[in-house]
Amino acid sequence: MIRLALRVATADAELVLAELLELVPAGVEEVDLGDRVEYALYGAQSELPPLPALRAAAGDALVDIATSEIADDWASRWRSFHEPVTIGGRLHVRAPWHDRPDRAAGVLDVAIDPAQAFGTGAHATTRLCLQALLELDPQGPLVDVGCGSGVLAIAACKLGWEPVVGYDHEVESVAATRDNAAANGVAVTTAELDLLAGGPVPCAPTTVANLMRPLLLHIAAAGFAGESPRTLVLSGLLAHEADEVAAAFAPHGLRERDRRHGNEWIALTLVA
């Protein structure tokens, strides 16, 4: 078995991932390395995409590519990569093979299958968004722009938002959110959305967008369909990018109320 790893600049990681998933629809493993993100593919040499195609997908964001042979127990070690996390003592996010939390503890259980390698909530940006949601009053609709595996949308349902809609550019993400929502016994409406295709972005009074800086700036430039959100939670940002992104949403009547830090990552809560 071969592990093929691409390391790319963090600022461009979201766009690179979209390109990679065109080559590898089954998904990739994602590892946060601070100023870089590593995407890893597993398989026999003949099953992996050719290096020229991977280099083209990564473009100018590429830092390096490395291959290594891995032991036959790679599947079990991959599982160990997805550790459960408890957020604010109220949300427990785990993979299906981890034990449920004790119901007597009053912790909401969110089980996310990372079969498509979108993660289970351990990434700092996801944790920061979940922390922000815990501080909000869960009333009315919520939209999750870039829903991935559905962690934020499903957690929002369990916290009390209704209805909840998740949008993503990737067909695999939409399917993962839909399947994970069903497994958690909650209702999340899902739909494909290509942010770069232009036009105002769907939103709700509470809107969450855990995306990289270029996509967040694109949302600010494109505007929102209907009224702007009353509360907008943003992440996927490095610390030095937060001021620029917060300022970009000011013309929509949104001001910064809260800024959360997690390693080098930032989450912003903007309010009308």
Which fold does the domain 2-78 belong to in CATH?
Alpha-Beta Plaits (3.30.70)
CB 241, CB 40: distance < 8 Å:
no
- State pTM to two decimals: 0.76
Nearest to 121 by CA among 195, 184, 214: 184
pLDDT digits (tens, 9 = 90+) for 130-179: 999 999 999 899 999 999 889 999 999 999 999 999 999 888 889 989 99
The amino acid at residue 188 is: V
Tokens 């994602």 — which residue?
Answer: 30
CB 77, CB 36: distance < 8 Å:
no
According to DSSP, the β-strands at 29-32 and 36-43 are antiparallel
Nearest to 119 by CA among 181, 27, 209: 27
The amino acid at residue 82 is: H
Four-point Cα dihedral 208, 238, 16, 175, nearest 10 = -20
Sheet holding 29-32, edge to edge: 29-32, 36-43, 2-9, 62-69
Map out the domains of the chain as residue ranges.
Answer: 2-78, 123-271
Q: What DSSP string runs through 162-219?
A: -SEEEEES-HHHHHHHHHHHHHTT--EEEEE--GGG-SPBP--SEEEEE--HHHHHHH
pLDDT digits (tens, 9 = 90+) for 209-233: 999 888 899 999 999 998 999 999 9
User: Residues in the chain with pLDDT < 70?
Assistant: 1, 25-27, 71-82, 104, 115-122
* Three-state SS at 228: coil
For residues 271 and 232, what is the distance between their CA atoms, to the nearest angstrom? 6
CB 115, CB 254: distance < 8 Å:
no
Written as six digits, the tokens of 176 are 């993962």
Looking at residue 117, what is its pLDDT? 43
Domain 123-271: which CATH number of 3.40.50.150, 3.30.565.10, 3.50.50.60, 3.40.50.300: 3.40.50.150
Sheet holding 142-145, edge to edge: 188-192, 164-168, 142-145, 206-210, 231-238, 265-271, 255-262
Q: Is 33 exposed, middle or buried (0-12, 13-18, 19+ CB in 10 A)?
A: exposed
CB 116, CB 136: distance < 8 Å:
no
CB atoms within 10 A of CB 97: 10
CB 3, CB 39: distance < 8 Å:
no
